[in-house]
Structure 1
Amino acid sequence: MATDTETDEAGVDSEAETAAAETEASGGHSKAKLLKVGGLLLLVIVLQIGISYWLLAPSGPPEEIPDEIAPESTNVTSEVPIDNFSVTNNIAEPGATIHVTFNLVALVEQGSAADFESMVKEQSKARVKQAVIEVVRKSSLSDLNDPQLGTMKRMMKEAINKVLKKSYVVEIVISEYRTLTQ
């Protein structure tokens, strides 16, 4: 009887041998392909890290900052008391009135402290008080409840410097701050 498949060796199926050879060839080919893709991916990652470092790294030695632009903390400042305030705010919480009381002190450069004090206490006293009161009355509930009072301090500093037409105030200090809601 004749068989459909002829083999050179006894007990070896030629189809199984051919399938095994194809699997080895494709497995070897897929491993090489996987290594190439992994290498390319690694190269892209290294390039991204290098470019990010190049773009974000400081270039050259740090430049010296001129005295006019130097941080305010390096300047010697003096505390100049402005006044005690008691202001109501009807806008912050609808249907309620918030009473705000505080002491206001301005930090100014030591050389201009006397000039600032005469401006605030004599020449522009009413306008400075009005500017501070406007800031408190326009403040939102979150501004009034902010533990650092950052927004109110910034707005008061800007308002006072605008009234005096010169940047005297370096920083605002608010002490004995209390709010009462009715």
Structure 2
Amino acid sequence: MIPSPEDVIEAAEMRARQHSATEPDIEELTTVTDKETVEIDLKNFGITAYQPLANTTLRIDFHLYAMVNAENQSEFEDLIAQNEHRFREQVIVTLRSSEVSDLTDPSLGLLKRKILEKTNRILGKPLVKSVIFSDYSFIEQ
């Protein structure tokens, strides 16, 4: 009923061989994702959020950029111009509803993922590849 240690090792090695045989080569992955990208300025943001439970005020300032494939740059710029106010509103709502731990995370990973997902949803296409925070400042008073 219970497999021996040798059986467990053999099964693990077999799974590893099967898994590595089905993975694509690293060269294939790099050629697919090595498209030229450009940074597009999404402007400065200055957000103030009052938190009544903690009786504190948060001040968040940053400059936001989007990474887009060079071939999609003009389409992205047209769509973001058409949806500029909805985009800004979603960024502000995302940051104001974030936890302090998300705002103090050195990589800002969760905020980047949320803004990326919401931006692509607003645009109707997955044009944005990543989001970059520059000049990020967070103050809690």
TM-score band, normalised by shorter chain: 0.7 to 0.9
Cα displacement (A) at 1:164? 1.1
Alignment partner, residue 97 of structure 2: 138
Which ranges in structure 2 are unaligned for 5 or more consecutive residues?
none
The answer (yes or no) to whether the contact 1:91–1:140 under 8 Å persists in 2 is: no
The structure number with the bigger radius of gyration is: 1
SS at match of 2:76: helix
Q: In the aligned structure 2, how far is the partner of 1:105 from the partner of 1:180?
A: 21
Show the 5 A alignment for 1:26-175: 44-59=4-19, 61-62=21-22, 64=24, 73-91=33-51, 94-120=54-80, 122-175=81-134
Q: CA deviation at 1:181?
A: 1.3
Give CA-to-partner distance per residue, 1:134-182, whole Å, 9 cap, x none: 1101110110000000000000011111111111110000000001112
RMSD: 2.6
Unpaired runs of at least 5, structure 1 = 1-42
Query: Normalising to structure 2: TM-score of the pair?
Result: 0.84
Once residues 32 and 59 of structure 2 are traced to their aligned partners in structure 1, the CA distance between those partners, rounded to angstroms, is: 33
SS in 2 for 1:167: coil
Higher strand share: 2
Alignment size in residue pairs: 136
1:181 correspondence with 2:140: yes
Percent of residue pairs identical:
27
